[in-house]
Structure 1
Amino acid sequence: MYSIISAPIPLTMFESLVPAGFPSPAADHAQKRIDLTEQLILNINSTYLFRVQGDSMEGVGIFSGDTIIVDRAITPASSNIVLAEVDDEFTVKRLFKRGQVIRLLAENPKYPPLEFQDGQELRIWGVVTYNLRKLY
């Protein structure tokens, strides 16, 4: 687990959209400075970074080695991707809640849903808000 840097880190943001298909001719290249903390963090005092290990969430683009941003101040809702603590071990899964039924769902068909038995302890530690992945 990592804590979030509290000092602003301004970066240059180009206002033009970048096509992922064919290049756009002569776009306006206006730019401004932005702070990634302001863009990625909703609640600075309740936000943490975690490094992911494993492949259970690859279906939503979270891969082993990625860094996720987790916010503890967001109330978890069904279908949110959450950092959960199951019997004192962390896991990242999609939350399923319907009535009294709670499951944690992997986003990889290799893994069955986590269904809870009497005596098992589940704590939703926080909601995953972003995934940071290094591309090079």
Structure 2
Amino acid sequence: MPAPGDSTGGLRVASIRRVHGGSGPRLPLYLSRVAAGFPSPADDYVERSLDLSEALVEDEEATFYVRVAGDSMIGAGIHDGDILVVDRSVEPEEGDVVIAALGGELTVKRYEVRGGRPCLVPEAEGHDPIPVREGEELIVWGVARHVVHEIS
């Protein structure tokens, strides 16, 4: 449930960081994929090295990271404490997960259009959609492209 005075439906942006691509460590990327079903023998060779920024960031100048606080997007696989990779250069389309400012508060929600008006939709029980009312200013900061979270 939202915290008192939290009009964003319980999921907030905890922190924002700018992307500095190419400066991270390059780690081995194995050629063979890991089976999620039946195990297969592992290959002993590395395809190449991988900088995660290269894999996750399409437009470095327009990309930033945010840490999520809250649980209203759990149905989209976004958990409390996760890091989202957000691209400001992508024009939001219906169904995208966006970082948006509404009423001066940042939130992470699915962007939909209902009755010709934008609506920010959570993906967890107990959280209501947030319609953007006449006169309210909705600013979409960017579209979430990837989520990084710890496996529990």
**TM-score higher than 0.5 here?**
yes
**Residues 102-126 of structure 1: CA distance to partner in whole angstroms, max 9, x if unpaired?**
1111011211111122222111110
TM-score normalised by the chain length of structure 1: 0.91
Say if 1:26 and 1:38 are closer, same or farther in 2 by CA, change over 3 A. closer
Pair 1:54 & 2:70 matched: yes
Identify unmatched segments of 5+ residues in structure 1.
Answer: none
Q: Deviations over 1:70-128 (max 9, x none)?
A: 11000110000000110111000000025722111101121111112222211111000
2:129 counterpart residue number: 113
Q: In the TM superposition, what whole-angstrom CA distance separates every residue of 1:25-72 from its partner, at most 9, and x where no partner exists?
A: 354644211221110001101111111001100001100011111110
With 114-123 and 44-53 compared, the bigger mean Cα shift is at 114-123
| 2:4 aligned residue | none
* Uncovered stretches (5+) of structure 2, i.e. residues with no partner: 1-15
**Counterpart in the other structure of 1:5:** 20
State how far apart, in whole Å, the 2-side matches of 1:65 and 1:8 are.
21
Q: What TM-score do the two structures reach when normalised by structure 2?
A: 0.82
Percent same amino acid among aligned pairs?
36
Matched, 1:130 2:109: no
